[in-house]
Amino acid sequence: MKKHAAVGFTLMELLIALALTAIVATGALAALNTFADADRQVSQRVEETVGVSRALQMVRRDISDAIALDLTATEWGITRRDGTGVAYAVAVGGTELHRFQDTTPAAALSSARAAALAVVTAPSYSPRGQLKDSDYRVQAVLQGVKSITGTAVVRSGSTLGINVVVTTTTGQTTQCLAVSVQLLETYSKTTATSGGAGAGASSSSSGLSGLLNGITGGLTK
């Protein structure tokens, strides 16, 4: 009668197999974590870029339609052609931009000032970096950036617009110069009239050319 060889693994073989499995699993987990971190960073960068672009486009649209501007470092008041008002507030230590609109410019600006002075915390994010918490405020058109600054564009005592600079947490800096079409036209005509038909018009053209050349929504690093 034939004898069959025993089928099985020795303890040493099992230990070696477990050790190899652990090494492979550790390497796979490290690679997965690397891919997850890269995905999170890309997702956050893309969302911040889109969010900043959308918010600044809104600012450009509102400012371009303004017939009067009341601008400070933290509150931007806009009077519309129909007499209603829009106001922006740089809130939460300069990391958020809130937008308010009301039947009067004074009411909108009052809401903006209250938001700028309010002591609230910045929103938290999910591990992937793009989902805001339940405290997201409906008036906030931009959240979670590193800093937002606004500087009034003044020419010959006339406020024509605002220069906005936004820096995100990923280090991207976006600069946007938003100018009122009507205020720019009024400034142009006033400058041309005060300077005479010839030299005044030339001076105005040169000044406006320099101003318009600065209007940009481009990305710088």
143 within 8 A of 135, measured Cβ to Cβ = no
The letter for the amino acid at 192 is A
The chain-wide mean pLDDT, for the chain, equals 78
Bridge partners (DSSP) listed for residue 100: 87
Measured in whole angstroms, the distance separating CA 188 from the mean position of its chain's CA atoms is 31
Burial 87-126 (b: 16+ CB within 10 A, else e): bbbbbbebbbbbbbbbeebeebbbbbbebbeeeeebbebe
Q: Residue 82: what pLDDT?
A: 92
Hey, what are 186's tokens?
A: 């009024």
Q: Work out the pLDDT band at 144, boundaries 50, 70, 90.
A: confident
What is the band of 151 on the pLDDT scale with cuts at 50, 70, 90?
A: very high
Q: Does 9 have pLDDT greater than 90? A: no
Q: What totals of helices (H) and strands (E) does the chain contain, helices first?
A: 4, 9
pLDDT of residue 201: 44
pLDDT band at 124 (very low <50, low <70, confident <90, very high): low
pLDDT of 119 reads 77
Q: Which of 80-94, 128-142, 162-176, 180-194 has the lowest mean pLDDT?
A: 128-142
Length of the chain: 221
Coarse DSSP helix, strand, coil percentages of the chain, rounded to the nearest 5 percent: 45, 25, 25
The CA distance from 219 to 61, in Å, is: 19
Long-range contacts of 163-168 (CB under 8 A, 24+ apart): 163/214, 164/56, 164/59, 166/52, 166/55, 166/56, 166/142, 168/45, 168/48, 168/49, 168/52
Q: What percent of the chain has pLDDT over 70?
A: 67
Q: How many CA atoms, within 13 angstroms, populate the side-chain half-sphere of residue 73?
A: 5
What's the Cα-to-Cα distance from 3 to each of 7, 137, 175, 210, rounded to whole Å? 12, 80, 85, 99
Whether 217 and 56 have beta carbons less than 8 Å apart is answered as yes
Banded pLDDT at 37 (limits 50, 70, 90): low
For position 77, what pLDDT does the model report? 96
pLDDT on residue 4: 52
The whole-angstrom separation of Cα 196 and Cα 211 is: 21
Give the Cα separation of 186 and 160 in Å (integer). 9
The pLDDT tens digits of the residues spanning 58-79 come to 999 999 999 999 999 999 999 9
